[in-house]
Structure formats: C-alpha cells, structure tokens
Structure 1
Amino acid sequence: MRIEDCSVEDLAVLDHFMPSNSVDGNHRARFARQEAGDSTYLIPWLDDRPVGHAEIRWTGCAAPEVRAARPGCPELNGLLVWPESLRSRGIGGALVRAAEQRAIARGIGLMGLGVGEDNPRAAALYARLGYRPTAAYVDRYAHLAADGERHECADPCVFLVKELSLPGRSVKPS
C-alpha cells in the first residue's frame, strides 16, 4: 500500500471507486482546499486502486467548541477506508500516521480528529494511536440524497488530540 497526496488525475478514479454525496467533503472540494493550501488530501492506494481517503485540514476543525479548546490544531477529517471489507487491516492507522508525519514535517507538534459518539471502533483505534479526548462538539455537515435534495446532519462527536514528537523537542503529556 502507498499513501499519496491527491492529484488532479486522481479525481475521476476516486469518483469511480468511491462516489461521494457530501456537499463540502466530496473529492473535488477536498482537492480544491488542498490546491488553496488549506489542507492535504491523502489517498491510500492498494494495487493501483484507491481504498480510502483522509484530509488534513491545516486550518483546524470548524466547530467553535474545538477552536476554543485547541486553537491552531490541525484536524484529520473525513478518514474513510473503502470498501468496508478492507477495514481492520491497518489502512486507517496508516492514514493517521501519514497525517502525523506531514504535520511533523511542517513543524507542527499536534494533530486532532473527531470521532462520532456512535463509532466505538474508530474511537478504540484512535486511543491505541495515542489520541485523547479534548472537547465534545456537534459535527454539522450536509449531503445530497439520490434525488438531489440537500440534507443537513448533526452528529455528536468528541475531538481527540495527540501531541506529536518534533525533532529536537520532547513531548509533554497532555
């Protein structure tokens, strides 16, 4: 498996293998944020097929509760391993580690991510990787139904944070 930053050539392949109905989390929107310098859109590849994605939002989480609790903390957003049959095989953990490496390369000693209260499996993975609860918040997003109708969603979540070890600097427990 390899993990690469998304390229414009990847967009059609992503749409084919992992169509998205998210309004602001679709592949083109994530790639546009990457092109603007606001994020890095990571794609894991297995046998020349995309098997997931994750976006590092260098601008941080949009939720005001999280911004107040952890100002300036980049957010790993939209982590997905697809198809589901590939979950629990290390791809999600590899995406998290790839995001951490990119943050360290930028001199950033912190990474955060949100997890839905109804997703204990993902929460267990993040805990194993060293992420600790910081703030409760509601993740608000929109998606388009098959008929094109927009649906607003609000999911209770917890924002988790991990202190990263920067070269030449020790990590303080949070």
Structure 2
Amino acid sequence: MVTVTQLRPGEVATVDRHLPLSRLGQQGEEHSMYLIAWEDAQPVGHAHIAWSGTHLGLPEVQDVFVLPEKRRRGIATQLTHAAEEEARARGWNSISLSVSQEGNVAARLLYAKLGYDDAGADPVRVSGPIMLRGLPFDVDDTLVYLTKHL
C-alpha cells in the first residue's frame, strides 16, 4: 500500500538517496513543501508544491515524479490529490501546474483525467541548464499552465 505524507526533516537523507529533491532548498512552511509517496517504508515518488512566487499566483504542483518501476499504479494521482488537499486545507479554491506543450503525453493525459484545464495563459518557454532530481539538464521546452478548481 502506498501512503503520501509531507516530508519531515528526519526523512530528508533517506528520501534524497532514492529520489533526489531538486527543490529542497525552497521548502518551508510559507513557501513550499514536498509530499512523499511511501511504499513499505521506501520513498517511491514525490511532488513539490510552491505556495508563493508562482506563474499564475496560485499554489503550483511541481516536479511530480514516480520511480519508473512504480509507474502506472496510481501513485502520481495520489500525489496530485494530496497536493490538492493541502491547497484546500490552506484555503485555496484553485491550484495550478505546468506541463510540456509538446512532450510528456502521459502527464497531460493524467492531468486532463484529474480535471485540470488550460489556464488560458500564454505558453512559457524555458531554456538553459537546470538541476532536476539532483542532476544537471539542459532544457529547451515550452510549458503550458493548467488549473483546477478545488
């Protein structure tokens, strides 16, 4: 069984060994948080929620990741629902996320199934080096923003 919890300080080293947390330095009660999916006391996925400084001014789900061998089991759905619940608990009635305009078809299909709609914002091009899951990547992508009423 998979459970989703907020990342606690004592879990950082364990989680980071399995799922490098690219936005860990941003985590803080006011600014952002990580949700971790656990199975048999092992981290199998994560999602980051930014509470402030986001493109649309709404809480933004970022960096949803599930270990490849654990995919297609509903874990990304659990993480996304947990992020929505956190936003609702903080008094928000909408939440946002971004996804590649051309790539990551599986994610776009999942978010459509979960009720996310195009936010109507102009697509945003991102390019250059970024750190993702603890590794440097050169990015050249166009993101579209999606929102969901909670």
Superposition TM-score tier, normalisation by shorter sequence = 0.7 to 0.9
| Worse-matched range after superposition: 134-143 or 113-122 | 134-143
Match of 1:43 in 2: 36
> Taking structure 1 as reference, are residues 16 and 49 closer, same or farther at Cα in structure 2, changes over 3 Å only?
same
CA–CA distance in 2 between the matches of 1:158 and 1:2? 29
Identical amino acids, percent of aligned pairs: 35
**CA distance in 2 between partners of 1:35 and 1:58 (Å):** 9
Structure 1 residue 35 displacement after superposition = 2.5
Q: Compute the displacement of 1:7 (Å).
A: 1.3
Matches within 5 A, 1:4-153: 4-18=5-19, 20=20, 26=22, 29-30=23-24, 32-35=25-28, 37-61=30-54, 67=55, 70=56, 72-82=57-67, 84-116=68-100, 117-134=102-119, 135=121, 136-140=123-127, 142-143=130-131, 152-153=138-139
Per-residue CA shift, 1:2-51, capped at 9, x if unaligned? 11111122111122212x3xxxx62xx42x42235201110010100000
Structure 2 length as normaliser, TM-score?
0.85
Question: TM-score w.r.t. structure 1 length?
Answer: 0.75
For 1:137, give the aligned amino acid. Answer: V
The higher radius of gyration belongs to 1
Instruction: Report if the CA contact (8 A) 1:60-1:75 is conserved.
Output: no
Pairing 1:162–2:148 present: yes
Identify unmatched segments of 5+ residues in structure 2: none
The 3 A distance-change label for structure 1 pair 90 and 13 is same
Task: Specify the SS of the correspondent of 2:27.
Answer: helix
The Cα RMSD (Å) is 2.2
Unaligned 5+ runs, structure 1: 62-66, 165-174
Give the distance between the partners of 1:129 and 1:151, measured in 2 at CA: 29
